[in-house]
Amino acid sequence: MNDLQVAFKTHRGSQEGKERSSFFYRHNLFIVAKGVGGEHSGEIAKERAFRIIYESFFRHLSEVQSPGDALIYALENANEDILNERKKLGEKMAASVSVAYVKDKIMYFSHLGDSRIYSLHGGELNQLTRDHTLEEEEPFAEARFRNPRTMRALTEGLGIYEKPTIDVKKYPLHKKDLIIMTTEGLTTRVSNREILKLSSKTKNLERLCNRLIDLARRKGGNGNMTVGIVGFRKLTRELHNIIILYSLFFLLILSAMVGYALKYHEKGPQGDQPIDQPKDIQPVKERSRLHRDIDIIGEGREMSPDNQARDNKPLQESPGQQAKGEPYDNFYTFISNWKAAWEDTAGENSDIEYYLSFYSENFLSRGRDKYGWGHDKAEKGRHRRWIRIEISDIKISQPTSDNQVEVRFLQNYRVSNLSDTSHKVLTLIKEGKEWKITAEESY
């Protein structure tokens, strides 16, 4: 796709050589990365990440023709390479990385670490990645770790574990959308609301990069930070004017040809001597037919609408609608009530007890039991003015012999300054006459 335009900016910060970040792009593959480690090892990790991901991705893509599989393969190779280099040098070395590949107005993306990917669509900023940090993933990190630097420690990244958890997602793009990729040096200083405000007001991509970096620096950011922005190419004013001039010139030539054709048909090839015609055929009739032909040609040139418009939701599978009715009505009602209870956990007067009533006493997810899960939701909800949950593409499995059911769906989670879309799986178990959630996973 050659209709993409790219801009990026990197601020090196006051500590040269440590945790440098940068942006890489080639052939619609976009990577933002930050090296982590000693004075030189972080830079080595970052540069190796760029090279290995790029080479591995396109090599595997040519074999399997699957961007998602190629992204997983590339990240696994980069992780193995950095781990080997880390062992060889005997130094701490890792990299936080976000990768995106655009094909046919679909973005395939993945990340390991705290580098982020956003999409800007229709005046709304969507954060498509979730930071792999203690702050985001540890249930009681704020109480256990007082040091902000410890809170930002990576739980995933290249060169940290032998087998990192790599998820690839797809996201549809529109002609006016922007992809914004940043490192944590910027997002720890600039909020999502501020990114949205600047992005909505600034149309030039290079100027937008500069303004985001400048804002982060004004707010105290003196470390390394990078922002890369990808958008669809627009006609420049000069090119637009050239197209208008050529169009006018073409119309003048066409008008002259039409005039000559009319004159030729009225007077004939011998100048002033008209061609003998049957009495029932008049020149004005021929002139009318010619004008109709020109109208048809004009319509043909205009008939190129873009019928590929999609809504701003991650792509869904297209299974047939699952039939409702007993026992499925019960599950649809359960999901609807659970969603409403979750939305009611926002604010100081949240009803967390009602929300927890949907969960089994045997609930366990990511090391948290029912009450640890509820405490986490209450703490997050207390700082939200409102929460909105949209659920679609619901798939319900057949109940098993031990009365368990899996409910899968696409979930869009929105608060005042954040929107996140993910796939979710709820495992329900029947306890007495009621269904309860015994496990909950997002991916």
So what's the pLDDT on residue 379? Answer: 82
Q: Who wins on pLDDT, 426 or 146?
A: 426
The pLDDT of residue 239: 53
Least confident of 124-138, 240-254, 400-414: 240-254
For residues 4-31, average pLDDT = 80
Read off the pLDDT band of 142 (50, 70, 90).
low
Q: For residue 308, is pLDDT > 70?
A: no
Question: What residues does 284 pair with on adjacent strands?
Answer: none
303 vs 28, residue with greater confidence: 28
User: How far apart are the two ends of the chain, measured CA to CA in Å?
Assistant: 29
User: Which one of 180-194, 293-307, 388-402 scores highest in mean pLDDT?
Assistant: 180-194
Residue 366's identity, in one-letter code, is R
89 within 8 A of 96, measured Cβ to Cβ? no
* pLDDT at res. 146: 58
Cα separation, 179 vs 126, in Å, equals 10
103 pLDDT more than 90: yes
pLDDT in tens, 79-94: 999 999 999 988 889 9
Could you tell me which residue, 185 or 74, shows the higher pLDDT? 74
Mean pLDDT across 334-348? 87
pLDDT category at 198 given cuts 50, 70, 90 is very high
Query: What local confidence, expressed as pLDDT, does residue 413 receive?
Result: 86
Task: Count CB-CB contacts under 10 A for residue 34.
Answer: 30
Who wins on pLDDT, 51 or 240? 51
Structure tokens at 260: 């000559």
Residue 278 pLDDT > 60: no
Mean pLDDT of 146-167: 82
User: Is the confidence at residue 20, as pLDDT, over 50?
Assistant: yes
Cα-based torsion angle of the residue sequence 328, 331, 336, 340 in order, rounded to the nearest 10 degrees: 170
Max mean pLDDT range (3-7, 67-71, 148-152, 394-398): 67-71
Most confident segment among 142-146, 286-290, 425-429: 425-429
pLDDT of residue 258: 75
Residue 331 has pLDDT above 60, yes or no: yes
Per-residue pLDDT for 366 more than 60? yes
What's the pLDDT score for residue 393? 87
Position 394 pLDDT exceeds 50: yes
pLDDT score of 289: 31
Question: 55-69, 103-117, 327-341: which has the minimum mean pLDDT?
Answer: 327-341
Q: Could you tell me how many residues make up the chain? A: 443
HSE, CB side, 13 Å, CA atoms: give it for residue 58: 12
At residue 257 the predicted structure's pLDDT band, cuts being 50, 70 and 90, is: confident
Taken in order of first residue, the domains within the chain and their CATH numbers are 4-232 (3.60.40.10), 328-442 (3.10.450.50)
Long-range Cβ contacts of 355-363 (<8 Å, 24+ apart): 358/334, 358/436, 358/437, 359/436, 359/437, 359/438, 360/429, 360/431, 360/436, 360/437, 360/438, 362/429, 362/438, 363/436, 363/437, 363/438, 363/439, 363/440
The per-residue b/e assignment along 299-315, b for 16 or more CB within 10 angstroms, e otherwise, is eeeeeeeeeeeeebebe
pLDDT, residue 18, reads 47
Mean pLDDT (the chain, rounded): 79
CA 177 to CA 122: how far, in whole Å?
Answer: 8
| Percent of the chain whose pLDDT exceeds 70 | 75
| Alpha carbon 265 to its chain's center | 60
Q: How confident is the model at residue 113 (pLDDT cuts 50, 70, 90)?
A: very high
pLDDT at residue 300 greater than cutoff 50: no
pLDDT at 237: 53
Sorting pLDDT into bands at 50, 70 and 90, what band is 40? Answer: confident
Please state at what angle helix 41-64 crosses helix 67-89, rounded to 10 degrees: 150
pLDDT band at 238 (very low <50, low <70, confident <90, very high): low
Nearest to 162 by CA among 77, 96, 52, 100: 77
| pLDDT single digits (tens) 65-80 | 899 999 999 999 999 9
Partners of 413 in beta bridges? 389, 420
pLDDT in the model for residue 275: 37
What burial class does residue 221 get, using C-beta atoms within 10 Å of its C-beta: 0-12 exposed, 13-18 middle, 19+ buried? buried
Residue 356 has what pLDDT? 93
Residue 180: per-residue pLDDT: 97
Query: Residue holding tokens 């990790």?
Result: 45
